[in-house]
C-alpha cells in the first residue's frame, strides 16, 4: 500500500511543504564501516572524456536545420522611459524574420507582476528593449543598430544607502524597500545580553556585488512544432523551466520538453527560464523555425544577475571567557531593480553559534542595477564574512585563539529551533582541519623583508539536506547493461558519475556497464533543480531505492530460474547465488535468458526526518603572504575541512572544494562589479576588467571530509557540498590578512589599494 505524508524541504533557506508518496519499505543508510566497491571511492567521471574531447553537447552546440538567431537590444541607461521606438528600417533588412518590442509582444508578467518581458520604463542598464530574429548573427546585429529608440532619461539610484533616503529616486512607485520594511528576527533579550557583556564590539562590513561568470553563458534553442514546445536550455532545473514555460504559454505540461544534456555551470543564476528563453519560444511559434539565443559575456553580466552587495552593521557582546552574550546585525542588501526574495545574510548569524540573545534586521533595497539572483550560498557567503571577522576581532581583544573562541560558542543543537542535527561533525572538522593545516596561530606571523605571512580561519554552516520529490528508474537490459533514468541535470558537479556509482554498488556490476540518462523532462521522472547543494541528497536516495527495487526483482526471478528459495539467494560480484554457492547464475545470463524484457526498478526520495535539522558544516584555514610594499595578497595554502555527511565520490567532492575555494578567493581579493555612480552604468561587465582568479592565484588546496555517520537525513547519509566551500574563504583570508597587517580590512574585495591604505592607518595609529 502506498502512504501519503507531508514533509518539509528547503532550497537555500526557502522552505516548502511537499507531499511524499512512500512506495516501499524504508531503506536504511549503509552502516558505519561498510565496505564498498564504488561508494566513497575516487571514481573517475563517467563523462569526463566526452567533455574534454568536445563530444558532450552543450546548448551552444545544438544546431537544427533552419535555425534562426535571436539577439536583444538593451537599454544603455540605468533608468529610462521609452518615448518612441521605430523598427521599420530594421524590418526591411534582408534576412530579418521578426522583431519583438513592447508594442507587439503579449504581456508576460515576471517578478509577480512587477515586471514584464518588455517594459516601457526600464529600470537597469541592460534591460531588454527589443528582440530581433534573423537568418544569422550578422544580420541580427545590423538590425539591432537600425532600431531607433528615443528615451527619456529618468533620475536613478545605484547605491543602496542612497536608495534608502527619503528623497531618493524611486525604483518602484511603492518605494525602494522590499516588502515595505525590513525582516526581523529576535531571540532572547539582546539589550540585557549587551549589558551583561564584558566586551562589546561594533563594526561595519561591506561586500561587493559579484558576478557568476559561468563558463557557459545563458543560452537556449527553442523549437515550437504542432506537437508542442521543445527547449534546449542551459539550466540548473529542467523541470522548473518546463513548469514555468507551461504556465507562461498556457500549454499542458506534457507539451513542453526541456533538455539540458550538459551545462557549463550556473552557480545559482540558471533556475528560471530567462527572457531569452521566453522570446526564443515566442519567435519560434511565430516563424515556425527553431530559434537560438546565446548571451554574450557582457550581456550576461548586465542582465543575468549577480550576488547582492551588502552592508552589515554588527554589534557583538562577549563574556570574558569568549562566549557570545548578544549579537545584533543590521544588513542592507542591494537587490537591484527587481527581486522575489532577499538573500539571507542573517543565516550564519542565526545558525552558526549558540547565541542566546540575537537580533537580525535585513533591509532588501531596490536600486537601478541588475536584479540579483542566487549565487553559490547566497546570503551566507556575504554574512559569514561579517560574522567571522567579528569573531576574530573578539578573540584578539580577549586574548583567545580564533579556534578556541569558536569552540566555546559551539552549537550542540540547532540554535533557532533547539532541535538536534541529523549529524554534526563540525568539531571534528575544526580539530582535524587544524591539525592537517598545522594551525599555530600565535606563531603564524613571519616577516621577511617586505613580505609578511600569517594564517586565518573561519567556520561554515549551510543547508544541503535536499528532499523530495525526486524519482528514478533503474533499468536492467537483456544485454546486461543498466540504465539509470531521472530527469535531473548535471550543473557540472559530476551527477552522472555519482548516480552510476550508486546503481553499480547496489547491483554489484562494473560501473562501465551503467549508463545514466538525465537532463530531459521527457523521461517523465521528476527531480528537483541542481541548487542549494541538494542534488545528491535529493536524487541519490531515489536512485538507490530504484536500484534496490531492481535487485529485489532480480532475486525473485532468479529464485524461479534456479529453483531455490528466495531467502537463501544473494547478489555478489554480478552473480546471484545460493548462500552455499551450489547454484548460481550471472546477471547477464539471467537477463539474456529472459529475452526481450527490461526489468525496471522504481525509486522515490523519502521524506525528510521530522524534528531534526539537516545542515552541513566546514572549517576553513588559509595561509596568506602579503607584500607590504605593493599591498598584494597571495594565498599560499587553504585547508577546507567539511562535514557533508557521507562522501560518495572523493574525486568529484574534491573538485567542488577546490572550485568553491577558488571562487571564494576571487570574492575575497579580486571580484567586484563596479558601478559608475555618475552615469549609473556598469564599468566592468567583461572578463578583462572584472578580475577572476586564474591558475596563477590558485593556492594549494587540501580537502578534508570528516564524514559523520548520518542515519536520519536520507538513505545515503550524504549531505550537500556544492556551496559550503565558498562560504568561509573570504573571512578566513580577511582574518589572515588582518593578523599579518595588525589592522583589519572590513570591505571586500581586499585589493592592494585597500591594504596599502590600511597600512597607512596602522602607522598613524602607532605614531
Residues with a catalytic annotation lie at 723
Residues 6+ apart with CB under 8 A from 509: 480, 482, 574, 587
User: Angle at Cα 307 formed by Cα 78 and Cα 245, nearest 5°?
Assistant: 80
3-state class (DSSP) for residue 390: helix
Q: Which three cell numbers stand for residue 352?
A: 552558526
Place of cell 594565498: 635
Whole-number Cα distances in Å, 643 to 160, 425, 502: 36, 5, 20
Can you tell me the distance from the alpha carbon of 245 to that of 258, in angstroms, rounded to the nearest whole number?
9
Segment interacting with ligand MOS, rule: CB under 6 A, options 82-90, 174-182, 374-382, 442-450: 374-382
Closer of 375 and 547 to ligand MOS (Cβ): 375
**Closest CB 305 distance from ligand MOS, rounded Å:** 10
Among candidates 688, 691, 689, 701, which has minimal Cα distance to 635?
701
Q: Binding of ligand MOS at residue 378 (CB under 6 A)?
A: yes
Can you tell me the distance from the alpha carbon of 583 to that of 566, in angstroms, rounded to the nearest whole number?
12
Closer of 532 and 708 to ligand MOS (Cβ): 532
Can you tell me the distance from the alpha carbon of 411 to that of 407, in angstroms, rounded to the nearest whole number?
9
Q: Which of 7, 9, 12, 558 binds ligand MOS (CB under 6 A)?
A: 12
Among candidates 470, 440, 740, 707, which has minimal Cα distance to 602?
470
**Closest CB 401 distance from ligand MOS, rounded Å:** 33
**Closest CB 267 distance from ligand MOS, rounded Å:** 6
User: Angle at Cα 37 formed by Cα 568 and Cα 593, nearest 5°?
Assistant: 50
Q: Which of 355, 374, 537, 732 binds ligand MOS (CB under 6 A)?
A: 374
* DSSP conformation letters of 234-293: --S-HHHHHHHHHHHTT--GGGEEEE-SB-S--TTS-SS--HHHHHHHHHHHHHSS-EEE
Q: Binding of ligand MOS at residue 38 (CB under 6 A)?
A: no
Segment interacting with ligand MOS, rule: CB under 6 A, options 141-149, 372-380, 443-451, 566-574: 372-380
Q: Binding of ligand MOS at residue 406 (CB under 6 A)?
A: no
Q: Binding of ligand MOS at residue 308 (CB under 6 A)?
A: no
Closer of 660 and 680 to ligand MOS (Cβ): 660
**Closest CB 577 distance from ligand MOS, rounded Å:** 45
**Beta-carbon count within 10 A of 440 CB:** 10
Can you tell me the distance from the alpha carbon of 309 to that of 755, in angstroms, rounded to the nearest whole number?
21
**Closest CB 12 distance from ligand MOS, rounded Å:** 5
Q: Binding of ligand MOS at residue 725 (CB under 6 A)?
A: no
Query: Is residue 213 within a helix (H) or strand (E), and if so which, with residue range?
Result: none
Closer of 530 and 715 to ligand MOS (Cβ): 530
235-254 positions binding ligand MOS, by CB under 6 A: 236
DSSP assignment, residue 135? S
**Closest CB 376 distance from ligand MOS, rounded Å:** 5
192 to 231: interface string for ligand MOS, x by CB under 6 A: ----------------------------------------
Can you tell me the distance from the alpha carbon of 760 to that of 179, in angstroms, rounded to the nearest whole number?
42
Q: Binding of ligand MOS at residue 375 (CB under 6 A)?
A: yes
Q: Which of 376, 424, 712, 719 binds ligand MOS (CB under 6 A)?
A: 376
Closer of 505 and 671 to ligand MOS (Cβ): 671
Q: Count the residues of the shown chain that bind ligand MOS, applying the rule CB under 6 A.
A: 11
**Closest CB 288 distance from ligand MOS, rounded Å:** 35
Closer of 368 and 663 to ligand MOS (Cβ): 663
**Closest CB 529 distance from ligand MOS, rounded Å:** 7
Closer of 12 and 505 to ligand MOS (Cβ): 12
Burial class (CB in 10 A: 0-12, 13-18, 19+), 63: exposed
**Closest CB 10 distance from ligand MOS, rounded Å:** 11
263-282 positions binding ligand MOS, by CB under 6 A: 266-268
> Is 630:23 a contact under the CB 8 Å cutoff?
no
Strand partners, 14: 11
Closer of 59 and 230 to ligand MOS (Cβ): 59
Q: Binding of ligand MOS at residue 532 (CB under 6 A)?
A: yes
Can you tell me the distance from the alpha carbon of 12 to that of 720, in angstroms, rounded to the nearest whole number?
11
> Is 220:241 a contact under the CB 8 Å cutoff?
no
Segment interacting with ligand MOS, rule: CB under 6 A, options 118-126, 375-383, 478-486, 619-627: 375-383
> Is 292:62 a contact under the CB 8 Å cutoff?
yes
> Is 452:737 a contact under the CB 8 Å cutoff?
no
Closer of 169 and 660 to ligand MOS (Cβ): 660
**Closest CB 9 distance from ligand MOS, rounded Å:** 13
Place of cell 531515489: 542
**Closest CB 377 distance from ligand MOS, rounded Å:** 7
Can you tell me the distance from the alpha carbon of 79 to that of 81, in angstroms, rounded to the nearest whole number?
7
Closer of 531 and 693 to ligand MOS (Cβ): 531
Strand partners, 731: none
3-state class (DSSP) for residue 301: helix
Beta strand spans in 554-692 (E):
569-572, 575-578, 584-586, 599-604, 612-613, 616-627, 633-643, 675-676, 681-682
Can you tell me the distance from the alpha carbon of 528 to that of 19, in angstroms, rounded to the nearest whole number?
14
Q: Binding of ligand MOS at residue 531 (CB under 6 A)?
A: yes
Q: Binding of ligand MOS at residue 305 (CB under 6 A)?
A: no
Closer of 381 and 672 to ligand MOS (Cβ): 381
Footprint of ligand MOS (CB under 6 A): 12, 236, 266-268, 374-376, 378, 531-532
Amino acid at each position: 500500500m502506498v502512504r501519503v505524508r507531508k514533509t518539509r524541504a528547503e532550497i537555500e533557506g526557502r522552505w516548502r511543504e511537499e507531499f511524499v508518496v512512500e512506495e516501499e519499505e524504508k531503506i536504511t543508510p549503509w552502516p558505519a564501516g561498510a565496505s564498498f566497491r564504488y561508494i566513497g571511492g575516487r571514481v573517475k567521471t563517467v563523462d569526463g572524456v566526452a567533455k574534454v574531447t568536445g563530444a558532450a553537447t552543450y546548448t551552444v552546440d545544438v544546431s537544427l536545420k533552419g535555425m534562426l538567431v535571436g539577439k536583444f537590444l538593451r537599454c544603455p541607461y540605468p533608468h529610462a522611459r521609452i518615448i518612441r521606438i521605430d523598427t521599420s528600417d530594421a524590418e526591411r533588412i534582408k534576412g530579418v524574420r521578426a522583431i519583438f518590442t513592447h508594442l507587439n509582444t503579449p504581456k508576460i508578467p515576471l517578478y509577480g507582476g512587477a515586471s514584464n518581458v518588455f517594459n516601457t520604463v526600464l529600470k537597469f542598464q541592460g534591460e531588454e528593449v527589443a528582440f530581433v530574429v534573423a537568418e544569422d548573427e550578422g544580420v541580427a546585429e545590423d538590425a539591432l543598430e537600425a532600431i531607433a529608440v528615443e528615451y527619456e532619461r529618468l533620475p536613478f539610484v545605484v547605491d543602496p544607502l542612497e536608495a534608502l533616503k527619503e528623497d531618493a529616486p524611486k525604483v518602484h512607485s511603492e518605494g525602494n524597500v522590499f516588502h515595505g520594511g525590513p525582516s526581523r528576527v529576535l531571540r532572547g533579550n539582546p539589550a540585557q545580553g549587551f549589558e551583561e557583556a564584558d566586551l562589546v564590539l561594533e563594526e561595519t562590513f561591506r561586500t561587493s556585488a559579484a558576478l557568476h561568470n559561468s563558463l557557459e553563458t545563458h543560452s537556449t534553442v527553442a523549437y515550437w512544432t504542432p506537437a508542442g514546445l521543445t527547449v534546449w536550455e542551459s539550466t540548473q532545473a529542467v523541470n522548473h523551466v518546463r513548469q514555468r514555460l507551461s504556465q507562461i504559454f498556457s500549454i499542458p505540461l506534457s507539451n513542453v520538453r526541456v533538455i539540458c544534456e550538459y551545462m557549463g555551470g550556473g552557480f545559482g543564476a540558471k533556475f528560471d527560464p530567462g527572457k531569452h528563453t521566453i522570446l526564443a519560444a515566442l519567435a519560434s511559434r511565430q516563424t515556425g523555425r527553431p530559434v537560438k539565443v546565446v548571451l554574450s559575456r557582457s550581456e550576461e553580466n548586465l542582465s543575468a544577475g549577480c550576488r547582492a552587495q551588502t552592508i552589515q552593521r554588527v554589534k557583538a557582546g562577549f563574556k570574558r571567557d569568549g562566549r557570545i552574550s548578544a549579537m545584533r546585525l543590521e544588513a542592507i542588501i542591494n537587490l537591484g531593480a527587481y527581486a522575489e526574495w532577499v538573500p539571507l545574510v542573517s543565516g550564519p548569524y542565526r545558525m552558526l553559534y549558540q547565541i542566546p540573545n540575537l537580533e537580525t534586521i535585513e533591509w532588501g533595497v531596490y536600486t537601478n542595477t541588475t536584479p540579483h539572483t542566487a549565487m553559490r550560498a547566497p546570503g551566507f557567503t556575504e554574512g559569514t564574512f561579517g560574522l567571522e571577522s567579528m569573531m576574530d576581532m573578539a578573540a584578539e581583544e580577549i586574548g583567545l585563539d580564533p579556534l578556541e573562541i569558536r569552540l566555546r560558542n559551539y552549537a550542540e543543537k540547532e540554535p533557532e529551533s533547539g532541535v538536534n542535527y541529523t549529524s554534526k561533525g563540525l568539531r571534528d572538522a575544526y580539530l582535524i582541519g587544524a591539525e592537517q593545516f598545522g594551525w599555530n596561530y600565535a606563531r603564524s606571523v613571519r616577516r621577511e623583508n617586505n613580505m609578511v605571512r600569517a594564517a586565518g580561519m573561519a567556520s561554515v554552516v549551510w543547508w544541503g539536506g535536499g528532499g523530495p520529490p525526486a524519482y528514478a528508474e533503474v533499468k536492467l537490459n537483456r544485454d546486461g547493461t543498466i540504465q539509470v533514468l531521472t530527469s535531473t541535470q548535471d550543473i557540472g558537479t559530476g551527477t552522472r558519475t555519482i548516480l552510476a556509482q550508486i546503481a553499480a554498488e547496489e547491483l554489484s556490476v562494473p560501473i562501465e556497464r551503467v549508463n545514466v540518462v538525465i537532463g530531459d523532462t521527457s523521461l517523465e521522472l521528476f527531480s528537483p533543480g541542481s541548487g542549494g547543494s541538494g542534488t545528491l541528497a535529493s536524487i541519490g536516495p531515489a536512485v538507490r531505492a530504484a536500484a534496490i527495487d531492481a535487485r529485489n526483482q532480480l532475486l525473485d526471478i532468479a529464485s524461479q530460474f534456479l529453483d531455490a528459495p528466495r531467502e537463501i539467494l544473494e547478489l555478489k560480484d554480478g552473480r546471484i547465488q545460493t548462500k552455499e554457492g551450489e547454484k548460481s547464475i550471472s546477471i547477464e545470463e539471467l537477463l539474456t535468458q529472459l529475452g526481450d524484457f527490461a526489468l525496471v526498478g522504481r525509486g522515490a526520495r523519502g521524506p525528510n526526518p521530522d524534528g531534526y535539522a539537516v545542515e552541513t558544516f566546514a572549517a576553513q584555514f588559509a595561509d596568506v603572504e602579503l607584500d607590504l610594499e605593493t599591498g598584494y595578497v597571495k594565498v599560499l595554502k587553504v585547508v577546507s575541512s567539511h562535514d557533508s555527511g557521507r562522501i560518495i565520490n572523493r574525486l568529484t567532492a574534491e573538485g567542488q572544494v577546490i572550485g568553491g575555494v577558488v571562487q571564494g578567493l576571487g570574492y575575497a581579493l579580486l571580484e567586484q562589479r563596479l558601478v559608475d555612480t555618475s552615469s549609473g552604468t556598469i564599468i566592468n561587465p567583461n572578463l578583462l576588467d572584472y578580475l577572476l582568479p586564474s591558475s596563477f592565484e590558485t593556492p594549494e588546496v587540501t580537502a578534508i571530509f570528516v564524514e559523520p555517520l548520518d542515519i536520519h537525513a536520507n538513505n545515503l547519509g550524504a549531505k550537500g557540498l556544492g556551496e559550503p566551500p565558498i562560504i568561509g574563504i573570504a573571512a578566513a583570508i580577511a582574518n589572515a590578512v588582518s593578523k599579518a597587517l595588525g589592522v583589519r580590512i572590513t570591505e571586500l574585495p581586499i585589493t592592494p589599494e585597500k591594504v596599502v591604505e590600511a597600512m597607512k592607518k596602522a602607522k598613524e595609529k602607532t605614531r
